Each structure stands twice: as structure tokens, then as C-alpha cells.
Amino acid sequence: MMSTGILQQRIFATLDGDEAVASVTYRLNEVIALYPITPSTPIGEWADAWAAEGKPNLWGTVPSVVEMQSEGGVAGVMHGALQTGSLATTFTASQGLLLMIPNMYKIAGELTPTVFHVAARSVATQALSIFGDHSDVMATRATGFALLCSASVQEAQDFALIAQVVTLESRIPFLHFFDGFRTSHEIAKIERLSDDDLRAMIDPQRILEHRARALSPDHPVLRGTSQNPDVFFQARETVNPFYAACPEITQRAMDQFGQLTGRHYRLFEYYGAPDAERVIVLMGSGCEAVQETVDFLNQRGKKVGLIKVRLYRPFDRERFVAALPETTKAIAILDRTKEPGSIGEPLYLDCAMAIYETPLERENYKASRTFPPLLRGDQGGIVGGRYGLSSKEFTPAMIKGVFDNLAQEYPKNHFTIGINDDVSHTSLPYDPEFSTEADHVVRCVFYGLGSDGTVGANKNSIKIIGEQTNNYAQGYFVYDSKKSGSVTISHLRFGPEPIHSTYLVSRANFVGCHQSVFLERFDMLQPLVEGGTFLLDTAYGPDEIWNHLPQTMQEQLVSKHLKFYVIDAHKVARESGMGGRINTVMQVCFFALAGILPRDGAISEIKQSIQKTYGKKGDEIVQMNLNAVDQTLERLFAVEIPERTVETRNFASLHAPVSDHAPAFVRDVLGKMISGQGDTLPVSALPVDGTFPTGTAQWEKRNIAQEIPVWDPDVCIQCGKCVMVCPHSVIRGKVYEPGVLEGAPATFKSAEAHDHDWQGLKFTIQVAAEDCTGCGICVDVCPAKNKSIPSLKAINMQAQAPLREPERENWDFFLSVPNPDRRDLNTTLIRQQQMQEPLFEFSGACAGCGETPYIKLASQLFGDRMVVANATGCSSIYGGSLPTTPWTKNAEGRGPAWSNSLFEDNAEFGLGFRLSIDKQKEFAVELLKKLSGALGDDLVQAIVSAEQKDEADIYEQRERVAVLKQRLQTLDSEEAKQLLSLADLLVKKSVWIIGGDGWAYDIGFGGLDHVLSSGRNVNVLVLDTEVYSNTGGQMSKATPRAAVAKFAAGGKPAPKKDLGLMAMTYGNVYVASVAMGARDEHTLKVFLEAEAYEGPSLIIAYSHCIAHGINMATAMQNQKAAVNSGQWLLYRFHPGRAERGENPLQLDSRSPKIPLEKYLYLENRFKMLTKSSPAVAKQLLKEAQQDVADHWHLYEYLAARGVQVPTEGGQPE
Amino acid sequence: MNLTTTYMGLTLRTPLVPSASPLSEEIDNIKRMEAAGAAAVVMHSLFEEQLRLERYELHHHLTYGTESFAESLTYFPEPALFHVGPEEYLEHIQRAKASVDIPIIASLNGSTVGGWTDYARQIEQAGADALELNIYYVPTDMELTGEGVEQTYLDILKAVKSVVTIPVAVKLSPYFSNMAHMAKRLDAAGANALVLFNRFYQPDINLETLEVEPNVLLSTPHSMRLPLRWIAILYGHLQTDLAATSGIHKATDALKMLMAGAQVTMLCSVLLRHGISQIRVIEEEMQAWMEEHEYSSVRQLQGSMSQKNCPDPSAFERAQYTRALQSYRPV
């Protein structure tokens, strides 16, 4: 192996951690198996993209990239691929890694070289979290995998190679991990590893050895035996020499790597003052911030240092102890994980034990060195603490807090840093004002909306600066938990030295506000330093803007001597043809003002980058952006800052995030999170078991719609369709007595109710103006047209701002109008059923979401007795992401009870609900019967025999149960108390198992299949978007043939799995396929039938999705086209019909009446294939059309098939 | 019997040429056209605006909703290359050329100057024998003068002519204040042929849905009267060739057009209605009629009934209108 030293020309690139890892591991493997899970998903997506392009690995062959049905499946593939001699890898995180554990034991037990790359992420406990900590990695400590940790994007790339080198030589499988988001998604300028670098490091002989160990019938062996008590133990101990050798091999590889690249790494890398007295030990991205802080403190005369832990397993005790300066007096070992009930977290325990064990072998050391004071028995100098769980910020201020703790005579042990633990008092104090932000680093913060392209522009700017200048660059992006109207905050740094600041920008010298509505929401000038620059996108010109700024902002502009610029970016973008995407405009402004590059040079770079980015999409797209560039500079103006502030209109600026009328918990806890101050909440503010109240989304008035629907009572035919399709439950209808209108606000609208059943009543459609996302889907489905101006309907979009105040008042009044009595509504008619109160409202789902209308429908029909098991995915994110939940309750306090278990086990989770509820009800009935004498036989009999088939029955049963509870309270027996606690279960409960296609078709299918076969009364709602929506459009088995998705970039070659048909084969499962946009009455009928069926029910609901690449406002038309083309069938399979001697299957859609092409090419997921692979698109279209025909004929046959009815003798007739 | 004609310098076995229609989207159909006796084929149109629209849509859908939510920063894989230009059309031209021996006339449809020249050049490179510019333009801008509209046509033609060497035909509508003057200007601007006329599909109102809907009506035999008249009027006054299109359903229709002065007669609706093999039927009937009436060649009858050569030239002008009214008597 050769090394050319560091003299060769290094290549720099600006990329994120995931891409950096992908670029190395792709080149070093032959088989890549994976399953999408945040934040590791992009690694696999890069691999897939490269494989689709035919990019070869280091040895000239294109790796096989396969997406599996779950991480459990991936682990199996890995084990198999490795056992048969391939170089194989995978990427995962969190629960995904946990699903791999069983096979990881096997892979390690068989000494199989491989590297798993993990973007470390919290494991779900009291809540799911997609953000970074080491709890997933720590759960694999016992598997036998080596654990190698990288702390930055540069290291993530480098260690991807080092891990591969070492695993091949040591035969120990490696888990290479880095912090989720902080490293996986941070964009940084790094030195790239060339193919030559890789070749210089990888010893081909080791690959041959790996292959030689492969299972092959040409030299057969047996592996995976079952061993008995006689030998298992000894066999287990055979591997010790391999683990003993691994650290040395790793250090050797690092040394070789250092020679090659100039980047030197050590297993335990000490950084800081040679004579440090206080040392922090940690691993992961936090090392970078600690390094920065150490530099800062040492420059000011302190004696501090840190040990970066690279190779955590196998733990090299001697190297660790040797890395500590002899002057060390106190060590803080920091863990980014929590292990409840332990003496301390894993890294702390390991390090403490390493130190503890060292004196025992002192003889070995004596000759070589003296011992630090703390090792001479003063164990009080070793403390452990937790930091940064789930990407909690870990800043120099906190780090200084840890060093300060070490300076105490008795440092606090088992501490936390970065939170306020007012319950167990673990937290260390720190001074949040402490900062190490360096003057030579340009630090910028940008506030944007997801839809405006801000993040994309910033990523582009980082690339330009990183790749066209000598500056180092860093970008990190913070997104909120909503999918519609989401705010993005970009944190960028640029500077001449490598940037180690792995925390958000705390002191900015440039702030860009890309949406003027944010002036009301964020105190964005607060982080700006004296003399900094503020850039605002606003419709007001430089002479007008001052009078339209919140006064606090004026004060900051004056007192901090800030430079202030305005541009009407939205206007420039609009006029350039870019709609709401102001990315290019704001990027130009940034370069013009930030002065990082000379202005002309910067503009030319932007133009080149536009050409590069958009060239493949056509000249128009390039030209559109170039126009925007040219127009921007002319319309960017400096604002002369007056010496004084003026009184401006009373901005809702930094107003209370929720109404004063909200419950205390919503106001004091959720409100803080809404306003972005969740970090300040103390431990005591949060529930101990992850339990939160429902009905909280109503308090979070987001006001994100530019336009909202406005009802025209004169045109309205009162069909209820707009209410039904509204994905956010912001359109509501009520019928009520005319007298209610007394005291109504002046602009409150009503009409005579049309329905025959409602003679003499009034009817109102009301819009929640402040909760609407402005998707416009209601307008599209409205069937009523204004006869004089047919471009207008009974509901029309109008600007929100002028309507906000009056409609707020109208909404409040509307809420005070009583809901119609559920017993009086004919729930089989949409126009009446839609008067039922939804118990799912104002979710943060994408504007125009195709899933939520189904959930809302279920909540209207059954919400007051519904318990929901929700698979992980979009529906668990918009359903259960803090700060608020759309699940709510009615005036009686009843509503859906909701929980999310895991991605893979949702069906089983829901079955658990059913078993438990049924068992408790059974016990309640037994107790009822026992206590019948005391409770009254009539009451007991009535309760036990109640059928509870409709709303009236349920109402009566509730009345009976209320009486029962009263009577039980007069009885003083153990059984009466038991029954009292179970009495509510005597009212029928509706169990719903809800999830997406990724769950139902892939990862959860095994469980779903089992639950369907159980015969138990559960209702399964599959929100079928035909793609993994939540993780960004990866193929699932529900993805139809010819659709483009990630991992099906060339169009999915196989047809969609027919989940419904599979379920029908059980015979006793109610199965239905619906598409609300095609036939809403059918959808309603299905929900009613499914719930009424006393066995398992499966509803497969076509859910249009932003991941289809469609116009969301007219998405219900896509549903209709899907059905009209025969791509999506509507049917019901009712086992009850079979019992009556009828064919259980009813086809509810007609034979295809439009060519499939007419539907498919409405959607980018199909259409884009005609642009990327025209010939393949043609072929797949043909095949897909054939699928439609075959599918239709099969169902036609099944629905027409005669049914044999068993005779009394048991023989079919 | 000599049915040969020339069109834009191409020698054609007969004057029967299928005009731009969806039929030519399939290579098999083009082969069948040749087998049925088509003398050349005008390919289906490359729609410049549609390509442009598709590019905007592709861009929109690839970016819409991205970079908004931490778990789904994008929704689609982005291939290294998109075929957002006319590649498919060009490949189709190439395949058509390779499949048949008759001339292939490409068709380009649009309404703005942008894009025309690039596409025209590429179409020539793909091997098309000629190019038909289908200028489909319905001016609705009240500020736009008739002169302005005419200038657009001329600009497009000149721009295209300046970049290609293959002959270029202009398919246009009859809606000019002075059709003859417009024809003269296009002739002067270098048009190798005028294709008369483009039929604008007029939208319809759906009374049930209260929507305006596109409404494609196939031509009827009476649609041929308008081009017949203008071909007859223009014949002999211009350098450029004249092609007749609209309403040619039978051999007699084609013969009338040829007599009016058309170099070629284009078939569309009749093929969509009765099939490609109808070309053969029309040719046979044409031949039979000519034999019966003792014509020896197409050349012999071409232009024979043009305004210039016909017995009563005023019949093509207003006089004919007044007479037609006078001759009408209610029964």
C-alpha cells in the first residue's frame, strides 16, 4: 500500500453528513440494503440515485441497492449478503437500528466484516423523536459490533472509510455513527476522499479473505449451528483475541489515514492544554463545540481540555487512560443518552471503570508514566452527566457550565446540562450569555417559509462560498413540526478556519427575514450584533417601511446601529414567473449585502449555479431565475434609519401565542413551545408519562392562509361536500333553531335549511379563518355554481387578512351555536351526516392533505367512543406532534383516545386495545350479573342486552350506564368499586387502527395480516398514498407500476400489491376500497358498514398526496380520474352477504371509461418518467394499462361469481 | 396516368398527403400510409407551448413542498438528465425516416417566436424533408393591430427560414383582413408553400356543467369550400406552392382542389373516420375519374379551375355571393 503523503492536491466539497458518508460507503460496497428512516434516509437515497445513474463502485461495478420492507428485513439481507461473500452495508437510525439487533448479534458472532452507518437518533420512549442522540447506538453495545463515532461531517466521511478498512482486517463488524441532524444534515465544507485515497487504504487481500469465507456449495461449510451447554460458553469466548486486536488495528488505520490525508485521528483524542486540570470526555458532534470552548477558555488562561471518544467499542482502557493529561484533576464524562435506573450512563460507566481498573494494574504503568492526581484514589474528580438529548442545543455556554462544575470542590455528579431540572435538581447552572462566536466568522440567520425556497437558496449559497472561495462554510436548518405553512430557520457560518460551532447561531451579523408576517412572530433582531445587517422582504418601500415596523424592532435598529435593507422579493419573484419562490431573489440580496464575495463575482457565481441547477429542466426555468437575479439588484434598497422610533400600529408582535381563554397547561406549557421557547420549560412542566390533553390545536391560531373560502348562502345547495373534504376541518356546518341567531355578529351568515327534515331551521357554513391553510380543495369540489357568474361557486376564495377579525368573531359565535342532536341526523346522507361535529381539527398536515378527510369522517361518526392505534408516519406526525394535537373532544368531554406505538406493530397495538376492552367489558358484565339484585334486574338486563347499533342506542346505553354508576356509588363492596371503574366499557367502543401504506403493505403487514385473521372487531383504516409520504417519497409495495419514487427512480416495474384481495381470502374480513373524491357517498357507506361489522374491517382509502406531484387544490379530481380509469377500484366485500347466500363482493365502480394515461399523466410521479426515461415510460404505461384490464376482469369475475350456500347437511348445494 | 405532382421542390407520386394528425404518432401507421399510397406524410405537430408548459410543471412539482419538513426534504428522485426538449419528436422523425421512403414533413405548432428556430434546426437535423409551421394564434389582445398579428407570422417564418435549408410551409388561418395580401407577404418572406387552412377548434358550452369545453369536430365536406376559393384566387399569382387541407373526403374533393390550383391535397378527417386504407380508395377513384374524363396527368388539371383560368372569374368574388342569393327561391 502506498501513501503519497499530504502533498497531493486535496479536493474540497460542500455537503452534508449523509452525503459525505454515502459517497464513501457507496464506493466500497456491492450490496446496499436499507429501509427509510429519518435522519439516515438520504444516505440510501444518494446510493439509489447513483446506482440508477449507473455509477460504479471502486472496483467498477454498480452496487445493488435494495429497499426492504423493514429494518428487520434489511438486517436479514445484510446477514445473507455478507455470509455469501459480498461487501454489504446499510444505513439506519433509532427504532430501525433496534430492529436490526438480533441479526447484529449473529453478524458479530460470526466475525463478519461490515459497516452499518447510523445517523444516531433518539429511541422513542415517552414520545417519538426524529432528532439526534445516542440512545439507539447504546442499545447495541452488547451485540459485539465495534462502535466508531464521528463528530463532524469531515469525520463522518473519513470514518466511513476507516471503519471499512478496520472491519475487513479485524473481522469485527462496525457500527459507524454520527449525530442525527447535527451531523447528518449539517452542510459543511470538507476535504473529499478520492478513489485513490480509498484504494490506498483498502487492502484487496482482505476482501479476498472475506470472500473466501463465504458460504458456497463449491466449498461447503455449516454455520449457524445450535450449541448446547457443553460448548456454547467456550465458543463464545473464542472471539476475545479479535476484540483485543481491534483497537490497535483501528489506530493503525487512523495513522495510515493521517499520513495519506494529513488528518490524524486517535481512538481517544485529547485536545486542549497539555497541563489541563479539567477535562471533558464525550463523543459525537458535541466534541466540536467543546473544542471551540476549550480554545476560547485556554486563550484566556484556563487549563482545560477534552477527550474525543472515537472508538467506543471495543473500549481500549489503556489508551483512554493514557490520553488523559497527567495534570488532570477532574473529569466530566458526558453522555448524549439516558439510561433510567442505572448508576450512570454508559460512557461514564466505561470511563470510570477504566480509571478504576487502572490502579489495579499499576505495575504495568509505573515504568512509563506517572498518574494524574485523580487516578491516585481521588475518585471524586470523576463525574458524569447528560446533555443534548434529541438534538437539544449543546452550546459553549453549557460547556463552560460543565467546566465550572469541575472547578467546584465537590463537583455535582449525575448532572444534566442545558435544561432546568426543577424536579430531581440534576441540572447545572450556566450563563446563557457566554459565547465563543468568533469575529472572523460571518454568521447569518434566515427566517423563511418552507414553500418559499429559503432553505434551498441557503444551501446553494453555502455551496458557492464553500466551493468558490477559500472560506469554510457551515449550514444547519431548523424546521417546525407542521407540514403546512412551516417555518424554516437557516443558520449559516462562513470563515477562513474550519468551523467547529455545532450549535445554532447565537450572535448573528446578518439576519434575513423572508416573510414579513414573521415580524409579528419572532424577535429576530435579538441575535443581531452591534452594526449587523437586517434584510427584510416587504411590500413597503424604503421610505414607508419604518412606520410599519413593530416599535421594539425600531428600537433595536436604532440602538444597535444596524444596517437595514428592504426588497419586495415576492413582487420580483412573481414578475419573473417564479410564483411564491423567492429563493433566488433573496440569495442575490444576501450576496450583495454580506460582502463575502465581491458583488459582481458573486452574481456571476449565482448565475452559473442557476445554469447548473436548472439547466436540465429547460431554458425557461433558467431564464426565469436569471431574470430574477437581474431585477433584484435594482430593487434592493437601503433604509435610512431615523434617529428616533415612531409609534406604529399595535402589532400583534410577539403576542401571547395562544388565547388567554386557553386552559392553563395550553397557555403555560404548549404556548411556550408554540412561540419557540420550549427550551425554557422546566422538567416539572412536562407530563411524567408522555400523556397530553387533546383538543389543543384549536388554540394555535396559525393564520397561514393568504386566502380563505367564503360561503355564499344564496348559491349553496347545502350538500355538505365542502365540509366533508376539508382536510383541516375548518369548514363546518350547523342546522339550528332560528332563535339562536339573536345576538349573532353582523356579518354572520345563515340560510333557510333546505333539507326536508329541517323545515323551519336555519343553516350555516362557517369557516375557521385563522385555522385554514387556504388549500382551496373545498372550492374545487363545490358542485353549486353562481348562475350569473359560473366562475363563482357557493364557496369562493378571498383574501384572508380583511376577513380575519370579523370571521374570528363569527367563528366564536358559530361554536356557541348548539350542535344538532346526533340521534336526529341521518348519517347515511352526507348533507346530514356532515353536521356531526368533527373530533379531529386543524392538523398541521400539508395544505390539501388527502388523508385527513378520512380521519375526520371517522371522528365525526364514531369519535365519541373511538380509540385509535396510529402507526408511525404522516398521520402520527400531524396527529401527535407537539406542541398541539388535532384530536379533540366534544362538549361532554368525550372524544378519540389516541396513541402511537411503533411503525411496525400498529395492528397488534390496536388488537391489544380490542382484547383489553372486550375482556374488561366481559368482566363488567359478569360483575353486573353478580350485582344484579342490588342494581335492579331491569337495568342490568337492559344494559347487557343493549344492541348499540346506532346513535340512539348508544345514547340510551350511556343513560343506563349513568344510572348504573349512580347506583354503584351507593354500594360499598369491592365488586361495586370494580364495576364502577369498568362501567364506561359497557358502552360500545370503536377500535381504529390507522396508518399509511408503508405500515400496512410493508413494515406492519405481518402483524396486520395476523390481526385480520384474528376475527376480532377492529377497524383498520389504511391511508394509501402509494408511497412513503412522511419520509419523502420512497417506494412502498403500494406504489403502482410506472410510478417514479425514490428507490424506483426508473419507474416501479412491478404492479401494486393487492392488499384488499389478500384480506378477502380470509372470508370473514370486511374489506372495502374507497376514494372520497370519486364517490363520497360510497366512502360514507363503507365507514358505516365497516364499523358496524362485528369482525375485522379493512378500509383501503385512496389518499392523494403532495408526494404525487399534483395540484393539491384539485386533487379530488385526481381521485375521480383514478377511479374512472380503473386504476383504483371501489368495492365492498361484506362477509355478511356471504352468510345470506349472496356474493360478498360488490364492485362499486364502473368499468374503466378513460384511458389510464389520462389519469397517470395528471401526476408528476408518472409524468416525470416520460421526461427522464421516455421509452421506459411508454413500456410501463402499456403494462400498467394491461394491469388495469386484468385487475378489472378479475374483480368483475369475483363479483359475478355464484356463491355456494351450505345446506343444512353441511354440503354445498 | 401520371398522378405526379411537386410540392416545395419534392416530387410526389400523387397529390394525396395525410396532414398532421394523431395517426402519425405511431410508426406503424406511417408505414401503413405509405403502403396505402400516401405520397408524403405531414407528421403530428410538435407543440412548442406544451413543451414549455411541461417544463414549468416539472420544475414546479419537483420543488413544491420541498425543504419544508425535516423528514421529507424532497419527494422525488432527481435524475441527472431530463428529456424536456423535443427529443422524443426528433427521434420519431428519425424513426419515420428510417421506416419509409416517402418524404416526411415535420410540423411545428406554436404562437410565439421563441423556441421556433431551435426546434426547426433540430427537426432539420433529424432528417425531415420539409417543415410545416402551424401558426395557431387566436389574438384576443384588443391593443394588438392586424398589422401586428401579420408581422408575428412573418417574423416566425423569417426566423425559421434563416436557420434551415429544407423547405418551409406555413399553415395559416383564413382570418386576415386581406388574405391575398397576407399570402403575398408570406410568399415574399420565403414561404415554400401555404397550407390552406388551419381549422381552429372552437370551444363549446356544456349546459349541464356550465363549463366551456374544447370540442374537436372532424371536418365535413363543406369545409373544403373556403380553401377551395382561396386557392383558386391565389393560384398563379405567387411563387409559393399551395396545399389544400380541410374537408377533402373523396376523390372528387381532391380533384376540385387540384383544379383550383393546389399542388397537394391533404387528408385528415377522412382517415380518422374511415381508416388509413382510404388513401388507396381515393387514389383509385381519382384515377378512374381522370380516365373517364380523359385527363392524362394531374399537372394537366392543376389550376384549370382557378380564378385565373376558369370561365367565370367573378364567381370567386362578391358577385358570386349576390348571384347565389338571387338564385335562391323558397319552395
C-alpha distances in Å from residue B40, one per residue of A127, A958, B25, B30: 71, 82, 15, 9
Task: Provide the 3-class DSSP secondary structure of residue A307.
Answer: strand
A 10 A CB-CB count for B285 gives 15
The verdict on A453 touching B (C-beta cutoff 8 Å) is yes
Q: How confident is the model at residue B136 (pLDDT cuts 50, 70, 90)?
A: confident
**Which residue, A998, A999, A1012, A1005, is CA-closest to A1067?**
A1012
Ranking A168-177, A823-832, B74-83 by mean pLDDT, the lowest is B74-83
pLDDT at residue A675 in the model: 87
A 10 A CB-CB count for A787 gives 10
Whether A1172 and B83 lie within 8 Å, measured CB to CB = yes
State phi, psi for B104 to the nearest 5 degrees.
-110, 120
Measured between CA atoms, how close is B224 to chain A, in angstroms?
Answer: 33
Evaluate if residue B328 carries a pLDDT over 80. Answer: no
**How far is it, in rounded angstroms, from Cα A874 to Cα A903?**
11
Whether A618 and B85 lie within 8 Å, measured CB to CB = yes
pLDDT in tens, B164-189: 999 999 999 898 999 999 999 999 99
Q: Please report the DSSP string for A472-498 in residue order.
A: EEEEEEEE-S-SSS-EEEEEEEEESS-
Residue A1123 C-alpha cell reads as 377511479
C-alpha distances in Å from residue A414, one per residue of A154, A206, A432, B49: 31, 44, 21, 68
Whether A453 and B67 lie within 8 Å, measured CB to CB = yes
Name the closest residue on chain A to residue B81, using Cα atoms.
A616
Task: Clarify whether A38 is annotated catalytic.
Answer: yes
When computed from its CA atoms, the radius of gyration of chain A, rounded to whole angstroms, is: 32
pLDDT at residue B214 in the model: 82
The verdict on A790 touching B (C-beta cutoff 8 Å) is yes
* Reported ipTM: 0.92
Return mean pLDDT, chain A.
94
Ranking A12-21, A451-460, A711-720, B311-320 by mean pLDDT, the lowest is B311-320
Ranking A362-371, A485-494, A651-660 by mean pLDDT, the lowest is A362-371
Evaluate if residue A1185 carries a pLDDT over 70. Answer: yes
Mean pLDDT of the A629-650 span: 86
The verdict on A552 touching B (C-beta cutoff 8 Å) is no
Which parts of A971-1097 fold into alpha helices (H)?
974-982, 997, 1005-1013, 1059-1064, 1080-1092
The verdict on B59 touching A (C-beta cutoff 8 Å) is yes
Mean pLDDT of the A136-146 span: 98
Q: Which residues is A280 bridged to in the sheet?
A: A306, A332
Whether A1106 and B81 lie within 8 Å, measured CB to CB = no
- Asked if A117 and A148 count as a contact pair (C-beta separation under 8 A), the reply is no
The verdict on B88 touching A (C-beta cutoff 8 Å) is yes
Q: How confident is the model at residue B200 (pLDDT cuts 50, 70, 90)?
A: confident
Evaluate if residue A1212 carries a pLDDT over 50. Answer: no
> What one-character DSSP code corresponds to residue B242?
E
The verdict on A514 touching B (C-beta cutoff 8 Å) is no
Whether B76 and A621 lie within 8 Å, measured CB to CB = no
- Asked if A867 and A896 count as a contact pair (C-beta separation under 8 A), the reply is yes
Residue A292 C-alpha cell reads as 471551540
Measured between CA atoms, how close is A218 to chain B, in angstroms?
Answer: 41
pLDDT at residue B48 in the model: 85
Instruction: Provide the CA B112 distance to its chain's centre, in angstroms.
Output: 17
C-alpha distances in Å from residue A37, one per residue of A42, A43, A180, B68: 9, 10, 11, 17
Mean pLDDT of the A453-465 span: 92
The verdict on B210 touching A (C-beta cutoff 8 Å) is yes
**Which residue, A462, A4, A18, A32, is CA-closest to A194?**
A4
Burial classification of residue A1206, based on how many CB atoms lie within 10 Å of its CB (0-12 exposed, 13-18 middle, 19 or more buried): exposed
Q: How confident is the model at residue A636 (pLDDT cuts 50, 70, 90)?
A: very high
Evaluate if residue A1117 carries a pLDDT over 90. Answer: yes
The verdict on A1176 touching B (C-beta cutoff 8 Å) is no
Mean pLDDT of the A769-774 span: 96
Q: How confident is the model at residue B28 (pLDDT cuts 50, 70, 90)?
A: very high
Measured between CA atoms, how close is A835 to chain B, in angstroms?
Answer: 27
pLDDT at residue A651 in the model: 54
**How far is it, in rounded angstroms, from Cα A490 to Cα A473?**
13
The verdict on A1045 touching B (C-beta cutoff 8 Å) is yes
**Which residue, A778, A767, A889, A756, is CA-closest to A832?**
A756
pLDDT in tens, A84-135: 999 999 999 999 999 999 999 999 999 999 999 999 999 999 999 999 999 9
pLDDT at residue A638 in the model: 96
Instruction: Provide the CA A628 distance to its chain's centre, in angstroms.
Output: 33
Give me the residues of A, 857-886, that contact B with CB < 8 A: 877
Name the closest residue on chain A to residue B51, using Cα atoms.
A618
Name the closest residue on chain A to residue B86, using Cα atoms.
A1171
Pairing status of strand A268-272 against strand A990-996: unpaired
Mutate to test the interface with A, among B49, B54, B62, B69 (most CBs of A within 10 A): B69
Amino acid type, B64 = Y
Burial classification of residue A518, based on how many CB atoms lie within 10 Å of its CB (0-12 exposed, 13-18 middle, 19 or more buried): middle
Evaluate if residue A655 carries a pLDDT over 70. Answer: no
Task: Clarify whether A223 is annotated catalytic.
Answer: no
Mean pLDDT of the B103-107 span: 97
Whether B69 and A1172 lie within 8 Å, measured CB to CB = no
Evaluate if residue A784 carries a pLDDT over 80. Answer: yes
Whether A479 and B68 lie within 8 Å, measured CB to CB = yes
Which of the residues A328, A405, A1030, A1170 is marked catalytic? A1030
The verdict on A425 touching B (C-beta cutoff 8 Å) is no
Q: Which of A449, A482, A1172 is facing B79, going by the closest CB pair?
A: A1172
Which of the residues A19, A71, A292, A770 is marked catalytic? A71
Name the closest residue on chain B to residue A1111, using Cα atoms.
B61
Cβ contacts of A36 on chain B, cutoff 8 Å: none
Cβ contacts of A42 on chain B, cutoff 8 Å: 73
pLDDT at residue A373 in the model: 52
C-alpha distances in Å from residue A836, one per residue of A333, A710, A808, B135, B252: 57, 21, 21, 56, 70
**How far is it, in rounded angstroms, from Cα A102 to Cα A112?**
14
Question: Buried b / exposed e across A796-824, counting CB within 10 Å, b at 16+?
Answer: bbeebeebeeebbebbebbeebebbebee
Q: Which of A130, A488, A1165 is facing B71, going by the closest CB pair?
A: A130
Burial classification of residue B45, based on how many CB atoms lie within 10 Å of its CB (0-12 exposed, 13-18 middle, 19 or more buried): buried
Evaluate if residue A1136 carries a pLDDT over 50. Answer: yes
**How far is it, in rounded angstroms, from Cα A1173 to Cα A1141?**
50
Instruction: Provide the CA A431 distance to its chain's centre, in angstroms.
Output: 32
Cβ contacts of A479 on chain B, cutoff 8 Å: 68-70
* Chain A with chain B: Cβ pairs closer than 8 A: 145
Residue A430 C-alpha cell reads as 450556566
Instruction: Provide the CA A38 distance to its chain's centre, in angstroms.
Output: 7
When computed from its CA atoms, the radius of gyration of chain B, rounded to whole angstroms, is: 22
The verdict on whether omega for the bond into residue A1152 sits within 30 degrees of 0, i.e. cis, is no
Whether B87 and A1174 lie within 8 Å, measured CB to CB = yes
Whether B210 and A38 lie within 8 Å, measured CB to CB = no
The verdict on A53 touching B (C-beta cutoff 8 Å) is yes
Amino acid type, A38 = T
**Which residue, A1006, A695, A997, A1058, is CA-closest to A871?**
A997
The verdict on whether omega for the bond into residue A883 sits within 30 degrees of 0, i.e. cis, is yes
Q: How confident is the model at residue A647 (pLDDT cuts 50, 70, 90)?
A: confident
> What percent of chain A is modeled with pLDDT above 90?
89
Cβ contacts of B94 on chain A, cutoff 8 Å: none
pLDDT at residue A654 in the model: 54
Burial classification of residue B230, based on how many CB atoms lie within 10 Å of its CB (0-12 exposed, 13-18 middle, 19 or more buried): buried
Task: Clarify whether A71 is annotated catalytic.
Answer: yes
pLDDT at residue A118 in the model: 98
pLDDT in tens, A81-90: 999 999 999 9
Q: How confident is the model at residue B322 (pLDDT cuts 50, 70, 90)?
A: low
Helix (H) or strand (E) holding A119: strand A115-120
Mutate to test the interface with A, among B68, B84, B95, B213 (most CBs of A within 10 A): B68
pLDDT at residue B325 in the model: 56
Question: Buried b / exposed e across B95-112, counting CB within 10 Å, b at 16+?
Answer: ebbeebebbbbbbbbbbe
Q: Which residues is A616 bridged to in the sheet?
A: none
Measured between CA atoms, how close is A738 to chain B, in angstroms?
Answer: 34
A 10 A CB-CB count for B132 gives 27
pLDDT at residue A522 in the model: 87
Cβ contacts of B62 on chain A, cutoff 8 Å: 617, 1109, 1164, 1168
pLDDT at residue A580 in the model: 85
The verdict on A121 touching B (C-beta cutoff 8 Å) is no
Measured between CA atoms, how close is A137 to chain B, in angstroms?
Answer: 20
Amino acid type, A824 = D
CA atoms within a 13 Å half-sphere pointing along the CA-CB vector of A636: 21
- Asked if A309 and A319 count as a contact pair (C-beta separation under 8 A), the reply is no
Evaluate if residue A1213 carries a pLDDT over 50. Answer: no
Whether B71 and A1030 lie within 8 Å, measured CB to CB = yes
Q: Which of B60, B72, B78 is facing A1032, going by the closest CB pair?
A: B72
Instruction: Provide the CA A480 distance to its chain's centre, in angstroms.
Output: 10
pLDDT in tens, B283-300: 999 999 999 999 999 999
Question: Buried b / exposed e across B59-72, counting CB within 10 Å, b at 16+?
Answer: bbbbbbbbbbbbbb
Cβ contacts of B55 on chain A, cutoff 8 Å: 617-618, 620-621
Cβ contacts of A456 on chain B, cutoff 8 Å: 63, 66-67
The verdict on whether omega for the bond into residue A314 sits within 30 degrees of 0, i.e. cis, is yes
Measured between CA atoms, how close is B58 to chain A, in angstroms?
Answer: 7
Measured between CA atoms, how close is B64 to chain A, in angstroms?
Answer: 7
- Asked if A459 and A187 count as a contact pair (C-beta separation under 8 A), the reply is yes
For A388, left (φ over 0), alpha (ψ -120 to 50), or beta? Answer: left
pLDDT at residue B260 in the model: 96
Mean pLDDT of the A1061-1068 span: 97
Task: Provide the 3-class DSSP secondary structure of residue A1208.
Answer: coil
Evaluate if residue A410 carries a pLDDT over 90. Answer: no
Measured between CA atoms, how close is A1170 to chain B, in angstroms?
Answer: 8
Whether A1107 and B71 lie within 8 Å, measured CB to CB = no
Mean pLDDT of the A864-875 span: 97
For A272, left (φ over 0), alpha (ψ -120 to 50), or beta? Answer: left
pLDDT at residue B232 in the model: 96
**How far is it, in rounded angstroms, from Cα B198 to Cα A814?**
58
Pairing status of strand A88-92 against strand A115-120: parallel
Mutate to test the interface with B, among A461, A582, A1166, A1168 (most CBs of B within 10 A): A1168
The verdict on whether omega for the bond into residue B197 sits within 30 degrees of 0, i.e. cis, is yes
